[in-house]
Homo-oligomer: A and B are copies of this chain.
Amino acid sequence: MTLYDLTLVQVQFGALRALDIDRLSLPENSACALLGPNGSGKTTLLHVLALLRPPTRGAVSFMGEPVSWREKTLLPLRRKVVLVDQHPIMFSTTVIKNVSYGPKMRGESRSFQKRIALECLDRVGMKEYADRPAHRLSGGETQRVAIARALACGPRVLLLDEPTAGVDIENQSVVEKIIFDLCSEKNMSILFSTHNPIQAERLARSKIYLSAGRLAAPAAENRFPARVLQQNGLLALIDNREIHTGPPPEIFSTGSFVSIDPEKIRVYANARGNSGPRNGWLAAKVLQISAETDRIRVVLDAGKAGGTLLTALLKAGDVRQNRIVPGDSVQITLDPDALRIEKPPA
Q: Which residue of B lies closest to A296 (CB)?
A: B326
Whether B287 pairs with A288 at a CB distance below 8 angstroms is: no
Q: Which of B38, B223, B301, B319 contacts A168, CB < 8 Å?
A: B38
What separation, in Å, do the CA atoms of A319 and B176 have in the docked complex?
A: 28
Chain B residues with Cβ under 8 A from A181's Cβ?
A: 305-306
Knowing that A198-B288, A290-B299 are A-B contacts, what are 19 other residue pairs whose CB atoms are under 8 Å apart, sorted by A's residue number? A37-B169, A38-B168, A38-B169, A39-B168, A169-B212, A170-B225, A177-B306, A177-B307, A181-B306, A198-B287, A201-B287, A286-B291, A288-B288, A288-B291, A289-B290, A289-B325, A289-B326, A296-B327, A316-B326
Tell me if A202 counts as interface (CB < 8 A to partner B).
Answer: yes
Whether A306 pairs with B169 at a CB distance below 8 angstroms is: no
Chain B residues with Cβ under 8 A from A297's Cβ?
A: 326
Chain B residues with Cβ under 8 A from A37's Cβ?
A: 169, 172
What separation, in Å, do the CA atoms of A162 and B176 have in the docked complex?
A: 24
Q: For residue A220, give the distance in angstroms from its CB to the closest CB of chain B.
A: 9
What separation, in Å, do the CA atoms of A74 and B182 have in the docked complex?
A: 54
- Given known contacts A296-B326, A301-B202, A325-B320, is B306 in contact with A176 (CB within 8 Å)? yes
Copies of this protein, total: 2
Tell me if A69 counts as interface (CB < 8 A to partner B).
Answer: no
Q: For residue A304, give the distance in angstroms from its CB to the closest CB of chain B.
A: 10
Q: Which residue of B lies closest to A174 (CB)?
A: B225
Tell me if A23 counts as interface (CB < 8 A to partner B).
Answer: no
Q: For residue A42, give the distance in angstroms from its CB to the closest CB of chain B.
A: 13
- Encode contact with B along A178-202: 1 for CB under 8 Å, 0 otherwise: 0111000000000000000010011
Q: For residue A182, give the distance in angstroms from its CB to the closest CB of chain B.
A: 10
Interface residues of A in 289-303 (CB under 8 A from B): 289-291, 296-297, 299, 301
Q: Which residue of B lies closest to A289 (CB)?
A: B289
Interface residues on A, range: 35 or more
Chain B residues with Cβ under 8 A from A173's Cβ?
A: 224, 239, 308-309
Q: For residue A6, give the distance in angstroms from its CB to the closest CB of chain B.
A: 23
Interface residues of A in 322-344 (CB under 8 A from B): 323, 325-327
Chain B residues with Cβ under 8 A from A169's Cβ?
A: 37-40, 212, 223
Tell me if A276 counts as interface (CB < 8 A to partner B).
Answer: no
Chain B residues with Cβ under 8 A from A285's Cβ?
A: 291
Q: Which residue of B lies closest to A183 (CB)?
A: B306
Q: For residue A224, give the distance in angstroms from its CB to the closest CB of chain B.
A: 8
